[in-house]
Structure 1
Amino acid sequence: MRTYFTFFVLLSTMITVAQINTYEISFENAVHHEASVQAIFSNLDMDTLSVLMSRTSPGRYALHEFAKNVYGFKAMDSKGNLLKVNRPNPYEWDISGHDGSVKIEYTLFANRGDGTYSQVDETHAHLNIPATFIYAPKLHERKIEVTFKVREDLNWKVATQLPMVSGTTYWAPNLYYFMDSPTEISDFTMKSFQLDSKKIQLVLHHNGTEAEADTYFEKVKKVVLAEKEVYGELPDFDYDTYTFLACYIPNASGDGMEHRNSTILTSTRSLANGGMARNIGTVSHEFFHAWNVERIRPKTLEPFDFEAANMSGELWFAEGFTSYYTNLILCRAGLISTKEYVEGLAGRFNYVWNSPARQFFNPIEMSFQAPFVDAATSVDPVNRENTFISYYSYGSVLGLALDLSLRQNNLNLDDYMKMVWQQYGKKEIPYTIDNLHAVLNQYAGKALGDAFFNNYIYKSNMPNYNALFQSVGVTLQQSNDNPYFGFSLSINEDGNGARIRRNPKIGSPAYKAQLDKGDVILNINNIPFSEGQKIADYLEQFNIGDSLKVSFSRFGNAKTTTLIPEPHPGYSIRLMEDVDQVPTADMLKKRKEWLKTE
């Protein structure tokens, strides 16, 4: 997908007007989430023009079937005569009998403002291109022009990485570039700054104040500068511009999605109501993708397929290592404290460390699961609690381990990422897992490189985190005092007992007691739940090692079982000085180098 921009300027001067596919979109019925779309494909040399709605979206790894939101479809020739339309499958229209030109009109329903779908209402037109515009696969190399007919009565403006033709008309060198160019149309605020001759701009659609926007933009600047430090330079953005498209409004859906020269940031949290601190993590994650995934790009994502899901075994690196840097960058930028960063590592660490899923899949195989989990939908029950670890989290804790391992040898993950960038990302050469392995061997030596990949990537072993954390003056301590039951409960709707909400984890006390999702715990040791009682308060009256009689209901049948609580498997991660331990001078030096703190 990255090759589409090469030589496009030269090619565009050779393309005649007849070889341009044109689109127009308007929003007269925005109040009911509808957009009117028109597409013209001219100078056709095929008897039947096949057009599709995409089934995927750049940055996502699952199918989404955008055709479901298209209706009122009709096709005409250049004289306005209606043409025959055949539907060979749910997302394709075959149009025949044309005179060399086909004009298509349809209505799009759009009401999800995130990084994948589109949303049209009277606050904005938030457009992800694959979810919005029909396309002709056989004409994918043609130049595209699109006109956004903005609602002037709502003071709408256009923000996009697409270059402007004039007014509200923009263009793309080909289909792939068009599909990778999200667009925000609203009464937004724009802030920008120059860095190394490149413009970094924040398009902010929110209901807050100008002062809030200014404060938030300063945080964005700090993130950009800290991430540039990792790689030593910014990517070569097209038109020397990178755009954050941020929608922080009540009708949005929380998300973030990277693109070649821009990223979508959506949240229901306003800057005044927690978003100032909580939304900036998405900025950190998505901007890091400007290097790692957009240009340091897995070969398995090339070319990006708009009709099927690309399966990639590299997401532990592309998404996971990016996730490792997400909060690390916030710490380096001074946006969270060292204490907040270190203690915040515990959540992902415990999730990965205690998951039974590692017995089934290694990080590569977990990455293969993306088409089933990346905002994919299904109605049948699955056993993800026992069989899946997010490649975001898995890769994040492995990135942490690799970084601390390298630092024990006076190396670091930043310089490894720089080397991958120089050899693959900067040259836009898609990489394989073997390439990542080879670069690590080149950077850190064959022994360390082979040990990391052979044990933790091709297999699902776990590093010695206790020793790694100790090297930077951090403790890893198990919380043995609290009893662990192995189930997640919620009070039943009728107030009679508590229902098990998730599949018990393999090997947990609940699993051993043969309890299952959907079972209703009526009482434990004949002690009923009190009205209004919290689950945690109810369970704290039982102790580790107690043999508990659990009375429960399954499919309306009363049953009993015996459950023995175990020590909680979770760990806390804390600075040594916060648990009355004294880190050595070398530990503190390594910590300072790791977190780049004073």
Structure 2
Amino acid sequence: MIRSSICLLFFMASFVLQAQISSKYTISFKKAVHHEANIQATFSNLKSETATFRMSRSSPGRYALHEFAKNVYNVKVTNGKGKELKATRPDPYSWEVNDHDGTIHVSYTLFANHGDGTYAQVDETHAHLNIPATFMYVPELEDQEMEVTFKVREDLNWKIATQLKHQQNNTYYAPNLQYFMDSPVEIANFRERSFDVKGQKIMLVMHDDAASEDEVDTYFEKVSKVVLEQMMVFGELPSFDYGEYLFLACYMPNATGDGMEHRNSTAIPSSRSLSQGGMEGNIGTVAHEFFHCWNVERIRPKSLEPFDFSQANMSGELWFAEGFTSYYDDLSLVRSGIMSREDYIDGLVRTFNYVWTSPGRQFFNPIEMSYQAPFVDAAKSVDETNRENTFISYYSYGSMLGLALDLSLREQNLTLDQFMTLVWNTYGKSEVGYTVNDLHESLVKFAGKQFADDYFGNYIYKSGMPDFERLLKNVGVILETKNDIEFGTMVRNQVLVSNPKIGSASYSAGFQKGDKLLKIGGIELDGNAGVNSVLNGFKIGEKVSVVVERYGNQKELELTIGIGTSYNMKLMDANLKAFTKKLKERQASWLASKV
């Protein structure tokens, strides 16, 4: 009697659960060799007289439009009884049907051959699926539960890895559309490594046919160090929804290098195998994407909630969400010992030069640079732009602002780690979206009104440059300013391949992208000598005749030899008297492991 009652209760609970699932998918890969997947979807509990189903136009973690509908064809629709329904197209992304009975069955073919963090790729090595690029959805049902069954290629020994909740066999579950779309899937003959951190599992899913078992082990040790080092910034891991976090590493020659954060996982494809440079070249992406499980997935801009799959998504907080994450990726590598301090400084100075020598700061502050994301984040355009002069990546700009804030706080015997913990406890753990003003007020609370107002007033709302020479010196790093002869644009095989930098010698002289340099001061160019090396034969301020080919004709321009400002950084020599015990301690507090 007791056993029968339990069975009855279990059956009723299962029936209720099934009744709540309004979107069910089955995907198969018989024609994987042709990059095709077949998807069958059943959408039920439809209330609207006209049922609308559509493909997403954008993808979580990306801010531009991607128009995934372009790779969908062979669309067929029936009602719940199998009656064929005629679908109309109100726009390029949607289909509509009438005369349904509360349920529609939709089948279609997906072409997928771009294995990065946004699109999908299907071939006989794997099915690399980003959900928005793969599955149609019904907007009316977006708050209801979803289920997907993967018909894997058993002849290829495929297995399934995803943050979706495992139901049974090859069937997985999502509570709603937002979670479903945020859940990438790697289906392949992959290998796994995992370790537990305070009751939660961190798993590396490794699809890399060329890597040896020892190489996978070595790489997993590095991944583990990154996880533990970054956890020390906040003092804890997030509470992952199903007690598990997955690194979906696809290091195959057919993949496209990328990294994309998700709530309980990250897709980190690369064409570099661990055996072919990926051991060193791919770990930076691991560090960046894992930090996102705090910063952007849970410490989340209010402007990105909820994510809108029907349009581009704009946020003015990306200098913090992406930029501060970029500051912490290499910082966690040097702290964990994966990267040397010398290599860290070398990487820092490259970003430093890119940001602080760019003319873009005269046009946009960091908030406005963040607004540019829909135009630059894997966005496509066919017309020329002037990004060289107007745009600074919010990744790079934000990382320099993170460096400035960290070193400035250290002058107050505070740290950015502590501030990030405050933001985590205020907005991340409770998952309350924040604004730029919220960050400003949090810094007021943390470091005082004068400090916070100066930082935001000078560097966030405006585009000022902090006093890095002083800030870096306080942690034992020397910043040097260099003024060298500079042409002011990139030249390859004598041809200008970028727009001249505003204010540079080439800009002032009227050079254009596409000009071919023939003679400089009477010296004929043969493509072997670098332009700057030729210019170094003249004096600063000297006027030089330059002959170019433009639109098939020769043109003579007058170039005034000019200089360009750049920067260099180096660690203080440990043997110098100036590198005091106090400076060593400050540098260690900044760069040494916290584990």
TM range (shorter): over 0.9
1:81 paired to 2:83: yes
Alpha-carbon distance in structure 2 between the residues aligned to 1:541 and 1:334: 44
2:100 equivalent in structure 1: 98
564, 570, 578: which one aligns with 2:566 = 570
Alpha-carbon distance in structure 1 between the residues aligned to 2:372 and 2:279: 33
Structure 1 SS opposite 2:242: helix
Structure 2 SS opposite 1:89: coil
Farther-moved stretch of structure 1 (534-543 vs 29-38): 534-543
Is contact 1:324–1:396 with CA below 8 Å preserved after alignment?
Answer: yes
Farther-moved stretch of structure 1 (385-394 vs 534-543): 534-543
202, 205, 225: which one aligns with 1:203 = 205
5 Å-filtered alignment, 1:343-354, equals 343-354=346-357
1:520 equivalent in structure 2: 516
563, 579, 582: which one aligns with 2:578 = 582
1:25 paired to 2:21: no
5 Å-filtered alignment, 1:358-369, equals 358-369=361-372
For residue 374 of structure 1, what is the amino acid of its counterpart? Answer: D
1:558 paired to 2:554: yes
Deviations 1:1-34 (A, max 9, x none): xxxxxxxxxx998544364311000011111100
For residue 375 of structure 1, what is the amino acid of its counterpart? Answer: A
1:411 paired to 2:407: no
Is contact 1:204–1:245 with CA below 8 Å preserved after alignment?
Answer: yes
5 Å-filtered alignment, 1:3-22, equals 15-17=17-19, 19-22=21-24
For residue 321 of structure 1, what is the amino acid of its counterpart? Answer: F
For residue 98 of structure 1, what is the amino acid of its counterpart? Answer: H
Is contact 1:18–1:42 with CA below 8 Å preserved after alignment?
Answer: no
Is contact 1:529–1:538 with CA below 8 Å preserved after alignment?
Answer: no
2:153 equivalent in structure 1: 151
Alpha-carbon distance in structure 2 between the residues aligned to 1:42 and 1:288: 38
Report runs of 4+ in structure 1 exceeding 6 Å deviation.
578-581
Q: CA deviation at 1:358?
A: 0.7
Percent of aligned pairs with the same residue?
57
1:275 paired to 2:271: no
Q: CA deviation at 1:371?
A: 0.7
Structure 1 SS opposite 2:573: helix
Alpha-carbon distance in structure 2 between the residues aligned to 1:434 and 1:531: 52
1:510 equivalent in structure 2: 506
1:54 equivalent in structure 2: 56
Q: CA deviation at 1:315?
A: 0.3
Alpha-carbon distance in structure 2 between the residues aligned to 1:376 and 1:266: 19
1:217 equivalent in structure 2: 220
1:231 equivalent in structure 2: 234
Alpha-carbon distance in structure 2 between the residues aligned to 1:203 and 1:102: 36
Is contact 1:350–1:571 with CA below 8 Å preserved after alignment?
Answer: yes
Deviations 1:157-216 (A, max 9, x none): 000001111111101111111111000000000100000110000001002111110000
Deviations 1:293-329 (A, max 9, x none): 0000000001110001121100000000000001000
Alpha-carbon distance in structure 1 between the residues aligned to 2:230 and 2:55: 36
Farther-moved stretch of structure 1 (550-559 vs 393-402): 550-559
Structure 2 SS opposite 1:87: coil
Alpha-carbon distance in structure 2 between the residues aligned to 1:533 and 1:574: 29
Farther-moved stretch of structure 1 (276-285 vs 542-551): 542-551
Farther-moved stretch of structure 1 (52-61 vs 577-586): 577-586
Q: CA deviation at 1:543?
A: 5.2
5 Å-filtered alignment, 1:322-471, equals 322-471=325-474
For residue 180 of structure 1, what is the amino acid of its counterpart? Answer: D
1:293 equivalent in structure 2: 296
Is contact 2:163–2:184 with CA below 8 Å preserved after alignment?
Answer: yes
- Structure 2 alignment gaps of length 5 or more: 1-12
Describe the shift of the 1:37–1:543 C-alpha distance in structure 2 as closer, same or farther (beyond 3 A).
farther
Is contact 2:498–2:513 with CA below 8 Å preserved after alignment?
Answer: yes
1:548 equivalent in structure 2: 544
Structure 2 SS opposite 1:569: strand
Alpha-carbon distance in structure 1 between the residues aligned to 2:370 and 2:571: 32
TM-score under structure 2 normalisation? 0.95
Q: CA deviation at 1:545?
A: 4.0
1:107 equivalent in structure 2: 109
Structure 1 SS opposite 2:90: strand
Structure 2 SS opposite 1:516: coil
Alpha-carbon distance in structure 1 between the residues aligned to 2:146 and 2:593: 48
Describe the shift of the 1:581–1:490 C-alpha distance in structure 2 as closer, same or farther (beyond 3 A).
farther
Supply the RMSD in Å over aligned alpha carbons: 1.7
Alpha-carbon distance in structure 1 between the residues aligned to 2:462 and 2:411: 23
2:177 equivalent in structure 1: 175
Structure 2 SS opposite 1:324: helix
Describe the shift of the 1:531–1:448 C-alpha distance in structure 2 as closer, same or farther (beyond 3 A).
closer
Q: CA deviation at 1:565?
A: 3.1
2:73 equivalent in structure 1: 71
Structure 2 SS opposite 1:94: strand
262, 269, 274: which one aligns with 2:265 = 262
Describe the shift of the 1:19–1:283 C-alpha distance in structure 2 as closer, same or farther (beyond 3 A).
closer
Q: CA deviation at 1:272?
A: 1.4
Describe the shift of the 1:555–1:91 C-alpha distance in structure 2 as closer, same or farther (beyond 3 A).
same
